[in-house]
Amino acid sequence: MTTSSTPPARPKESLKGLLQKDSGMFSRRGLWLGAGALAVAAAIGFFFAGSGDETGAPRYETATVERGLLEVSVSATGNLQPTNQVDVGSELSGIIDTVLVDINDQVKKGQVLARLDVSKLDDQIARSRAALVAAEAGVRQAEATVIEARASLQRLQEVFRLSGGKVPSRSEMENAEAAMARAEANLAAAAASVSQARATLSSDETNLAKASIRSPINGVVLARKVEPGQTVAASLQAPVLFTLAEDLSQMELQVNVDEADVGQVKAGQQASFSVDAYPGRKYPASISRVSYGSQVNEGVVSYPTVLKVSNDDLSLRPGMTATAQIRTASRENALLVPNAALRFTPAAGGARKADSGGILGSLLPRMPRTASSRAPRGDDEKGGGRRIWVLQDGQPVPLPIKTGLSNGRMTEVLEGELRPGMQVITDTAAQAAK
């Protein structure tokens, strides 16, 4: 007899158990793999935590302390000018007849530069000479009158003596004496007229000479402002016809020194300057005068300063713009440090150490440093003392020093334990990279 029944459920349950068994095996394997990974990570973290002090330490930019020449200078800008520049004009009014020189011509003292039309001056001289002749004739006439009056007076005096004072009368004698006095006065007036006529003639001759415009100095013609046929009017002031410069082998540089630097600038100091025409050339100069009077340009106060310049090769020309460097102080064999080292201040404690948390600690945010945690600046010390930082065993160490002159790039060290060859810190590598 055949009977049917449902299949037993055990095989399915066995498969489920098998799967659960396999799943448990995989879970245990994953746990072992995770534990191994954590162990490797812990080892790596321990390694980096142990070496964190080295890799986390800041790196520094350094410079070597040296001995050398330190020069402090003041910069100023100005223009070149001749030592003596003269504007030549005319005292007379008239028409320019001829012009005998041109720009850049070399001239000598007394050389004729131009001439005015002298036709009117010649007429005036002729009249003055005629007046002189007339005055001289008047003198001769007055002399004859004096001789006549003197003879008449002497005759009356002789008659008066022979007559015992009876003749001539007293009034006749007084008239004769008065005539004699008038004759002598007329002679003096005639002589004065001659002197006046001669002075007038001399003045006209002087004007004739001034019609020839002459050079007052030895030099060169910088500017010519007149042409033949041009009318010159000298009614109120003498018009400028030529501009002359004395010997251009000696010139002067007129610069304006800022009020902040004028206390360092003195007469006799040496300087050098350059001009745009010769950018690679330095010209020597020396200060001849520092003005006490100031000038204000757009609110900036400066003091005019004059420098002597030698221009033997005549390469420099009046009006050129020049930039001068005035040496105000100099130190030989000075102990020098860069100014960047004086400005440097490391963080408190030097290189900051890594946290004990290793990698996890490096990932966590840090508390910001307060202002009190920063090291004090060396330039806050009194008495000229400064603080500078040097590297010792990879760590910044402060050294107190006393500074002297500075040219803006290097500073002189006067006192302290700093020695040539030492490495001073100028910046951190991270800051330098920025």
Amino acid letter, 379: D
Q: How far apart are CA 165 and CA 175, in angstroms?
A: 16
Low-confidence stretches of the chain (pLDDT beneath 70): 1-57, 236, 348-384, 430-434
> 32 lies in a domain?
no
Q: Point out the domain boundary residue: 298, 332, 366.
A: 332
DSSP SS3 for 252: strand
> Are 196 and 186 members of one domain?
yes
For 190, the 3-state DSSP assignment is helix
Please, which residues bridge with residue 246 across strands?
A: 219
- 25 falls within a domain: no
Tell me, yes or no, whether 282 and 239 share the same domain.
no
Residue 93 DSSP SS3? coil
Which of 288, 307, 332 finishes a domain? Answer: 332
**In the prediction, which pLDDT does 348 show?**
59
Which residue has tokens 């006209």?
Answer: 204
223 within a domain of the structure (yes/no): yes
Element housing 288 (H / E): strand 278-290
Domain annotation covers residue 300: yes
Residue 27 lies in a domain: no
Residues 302, 381, single domain; the answer is: no
Whether residue 234 sits in one domain with residue 97: yes
Please report, as a single letter, which amino acid is at residue 30.
G
CATH of the domain at 414: 2.40.420.20
The answer to whether 65 and 420 have CB atoms below 8 angstroms apart is: yes
The answer on 423 and 343 residing in a single domain is: yes
In three-state secondary structure terms, 84 is coil
* Per-residue pLDDT reduced to its tens digit, 206-227: 999 999 999 999 999 999 999 9
Q: Tell me, yes or no, whether 238 and 291 share the same domain.
A: no
Please name which of 69, 46, 60, 208 lies closest in space to residue 126, comparing C-alpha atoms. Answer: 208
Closest CA to 159 of 172, 149, 146, 148: 172
Within this chain, do residues 346 and 412 fall inside the same structural domain, yes or no? yes
Same domain, 110 and 129: no
* Domain boundary, last residue among 276, 303, 332: 332
Rounded Cα distance between 115 and 241, Å, is: 11
CB 215 within 8 A of CB 88: yes
Q: How many C-beta neighbours within 10 Å does residue 168 have? A: 16
Q: Model pTM greater than 0.75?
A: no
pLDDT of residue 239: 86
Question: Is there a domain that residue 169 lies in?
Answer: yes
Which helix (H) or strand (E) covers residue 321, if one does? strand 321-338
Altogether, the residues listed in the chain come to a count of: 434
Same domain, 271 and 152: no
111 & 240 share domain? yes
Dihedral over Cα of 88, 91, 95, 97: its sign? negative
Q: Let me know if residue 2 belongs to a domain.
A: no
Q: Which two structure tokens, joined as six digits, stand for 313? A: 């090769």
Tell me the CATH number at 94: 2.40.50.100
pLDDT, residue 366, reads 47
Domains held by the chain: number: 4
- The answer to whether residues 314 and 357 belong to one domain is no
Residues 153, 293 within the same domain:
no
Q: Which residue has the tokens 């158990």?
A: 17
* Residues 331, 67 contacting (CB under 8 angstroms): no
Contacts of residue 366, defined as CB under 8 A and 6 or more positions apart, other chains included, come to: 355
Q: For position 165, what pLDDT does the model report? A: 83
In a domain, 413, yes or no: yes
Range of the domain at 95: 89-116+211-244
What amino acid occupies position 333? Answer: N
